[in-house]
Structure 1
């Protein structure tokens, strides 16, 4: 029985171990979707302690702590990071089979070279040891990214953001390039309180008077171009928790838009018509401005309304759902295809049990001389662990070539979450190793090398047109 971190983690075959250690292990990282705060990258403060590194903004750990009945004071409350760390350390040994256990083990190993498990007995000792190392090595936000060989990260900003942090970062010579993703969710969910006031802000920053749906789109495209001008980004991101395609006319959309601008109530059909028109029109604008359209599908946000009221949004009370149908997303892709304006598109379904149907949909809209034009994104949120990653390989390689994948992302607010890329690469090499040892793949090591290097780095670099330089 292992009592230390095992460097052969998830590598169950000789071939898989060889492939990982020879080709995947040391490849750089492009983290093309995350929720890091650019202000933190700019300030580049040294971390206070392991408690801050592990628990600041990490809703994965917060959810786990609540399941053990830990008081909210030690989760999102006013306890200091030392107290929060000790509360978390008290439950960590009980997280057998949970990815948090493995993530924490990998983070301790990669950033502090600690390979022993955290227990209640040694928690304080590990805390003090890591705190000393943080100060000795001056572990800042940028240090973590450089230490993990992260060549590029894409944060996520709202169209009204002035990107002043990105402008400042672009003037510095950094190991890690920082771009941003364009996320226009607040303009899409017109039923939410504050829609009209949000458009007033969009009007102010874009310089476009917004008195119609078309003018709102003009304002968004102005910001789309600004984001690209400032950071060189080609990344967009639309979150669609629930979406039903509903046919519409331009006259209907104008009337719906006017009602929303006046804060008048809308019907469910009107909301669906507006979202259909919004996603279609934004898809056209992504296409003509060279952006990749990313669709995050199937979140059930703020399920526990009392918890959200007490601790805020994105604190661990979101869930997965299947309200967004394959048919509706398919109709969006179809309408864009019919007018020859479908952009490169990545689909991220949160319901991993239905991943095959989404893979089939993606393959159905590929073509046009573009490799993997529409494709499945990395298993995300509740699926970004060994089981979910392997399930996607096993299920979808039958339906869509996994060799075309743009690989892993962190989707994280943590600066030490990059071992998730390592976990993905280990599972991927193990998957390929099993295929080879079963005789299901026999094109040879050179072909496997190309697949691994493409999925780890080359595909994402080419697909988004990032031009990140790397010589292996």
Structure 2
């Protein structure tokens, strides 16, 4: 509603929402999931009794976000999901969890696979960019979880094996001709080269840098982590197409992150010049690359 008010007022600065559908696939707790579905039904105006109803309700909200300027989705996932499944299985799984019954691990993975895929299709239809932040191991301290609840500082880097599922997920969308622009953010630095090479498998020439290796995130959003991401992308891909740093718009004091990133970017490129890895005679080209990574690439990529 606030974004609608901003748009209606004609505010000169673009303040746009992002689509975060994480709760739509959080079926581990049947009681909490039932509460989410009932709330979704209320705000969307769609009565939800089966899986197709759930998708319809999500589409209604997806359309609303699009109407107020949304251009990006953001999925916070432990790992990627691409389990073989049938529509009948997904229907039965939804009925089971909506009815309050605990799902098996296999059922959870199948349902998450279906939701991740359906969400990606919605994003492609709208011309949005889909983002995936993966690899966090959350709520490690059960005592503090009971005392303070989730998201209170007791999360860490996970060590999930994601290569095959990530490949299968993007391949299924690519085969269907419905792979949206994508940014992947890993939390475990061991995956840097995995992600940097994976995005190359699905660059299709329709959009320059369509598949992006996202900037260092969370625990990696520091000097060493940012440098490692830049070097991995430069080694395995095309640094000049990188859309650069992002920040949390809800956290005003995090905005200096962009300045911090740009200084590190300039240091990395400058050191390569000093070491003879980049030509000192091409300062105009290198300067433009820094400008593009810092601003122009993102403006073009997201069509702001």
More helix by share: 2
TM-score, normalization by structure 1: 0.62
Equivalent residue number for residue 422 of structure 1: 259
Partner of 1:134: none
Kindly indicate whether the alpha-carbon contact (under 8 Å) linking 2:183 and 2:213 is maintained by their aligned counterparts in 1: yes
Matched position secondary structure for 1:256: helix
Match of 1:205 among 33, 43, 52: 43
Over the aligned positions, Cα root-mean-square deviation in angstroms equals 1.6
Q: Is the 8 A contact 1:381 1:411 kept in 2?
A: no
Runs (5+) with no aligned partner, structure 1: 1-163, 467-472
DSSP-derived class of the 2:17 partner = strand
- Structure with more relative contact order (C-alpha pairs < 8 Å, separation 6 or more): 1
Give the 5 Å matches for 1:82-97.
Answer: none
Q: Does 1:229 align with 2:67?
A: yes
Q: 1:462 aligns with which of 283, 293, 300?
A: 300
1:243: how far off?
Answer: 4.0
**Residues 324 and 203 (structure 1 numbering): CA distance in 2 closer, same or farther, change over 3 Å?**
farther
Greater mean deviation of Cα atoms: 424-433 or 457-466: 457-466
Name the counterpart of 1:360: 197
Instruction: Report matched runs for 1:45-84 at 5 Å.
Output: none
Alpha-carbon distance between aligned partners in 2 of 1:181 and 1:308, rounded to the nearest angstrom: 27
- CA deviation vs aligned residue, 1:332-364 (integer Å, no higher than 9, x gap): 100000110001111011001221011111111
Structure 2 residues not aligned, in runs of 5+: none
Q: Establish whether residue 219 from structure 1 lines up as the match of residue 29 from structure 2.
A: no
- CA–CA distance in structure 1, aligned partners of residues 105 and 241 of structure 2: 38
Determine the C-alpha separation between the residues in 2 that align with 1:462 and 1:287: 17
Q: CA deviation at 1:222?
A: 1.3
**Residues 116-135 of structure 1: pairs in structure 2 closer than 5 A:** none
Partner residue of 2:124 out of 261, 282, 287: 287
Q: Is residue 227 of structure 2 the alignment partner of residue 386 of structure 1?
A: no
Distance 2:258 2:268 in 1: 15
* Contact 1:239–1:296 (CA under 8 A) maintained in structure 2: yes
Q: Which residue of 1 aligns with 2:233?
A: 396
Equivalent pairs counted in the alignment come to 302
- The 5 Å alignment of 1:21-32 reads none
CA contact (8 A) 1:180 1:227 kept: yes
1:212–1:254 contact (8 Å) kept in structure 2? yes
Taking the aligned partners of 2:67 and 2:251, their CA distance within structure 1 comes to 27
> Is 2:146 aligned against 1:309?
yes
Distance 1:206 1:347 in 2: 29
Look up the SS of the partner of 1:222 in the other structure: helix
Structure-1 separation of matches of 2:33 and 2:151: 20
Task: Give the match for residue 186 of structure 2.
Answer: 349
State the shift of 1:172 in Å. 4.5
The answer on 1:268 being equivalent to 2:105 is yes
Q: Is the 8 A contact 1:243 1:323 kept in 2?
A: no
Deviates more, 1:399-408 or 1:319-328: 319-328
Give the deviation of 1:396 after TM superposition. Answer: 2.4
- 8 Å Cα contact 2:81-2:116 kept in structure 1: no
> Following superposition of structure 1 onto structure 2, how do residues 242-261 of structure 1 map, counting pairs within 5 Å?
242-261=79-98
Aligned twin of 2:277? 440
CA–CA distance in 1 between the matches of 2:40 and 2:73? 17
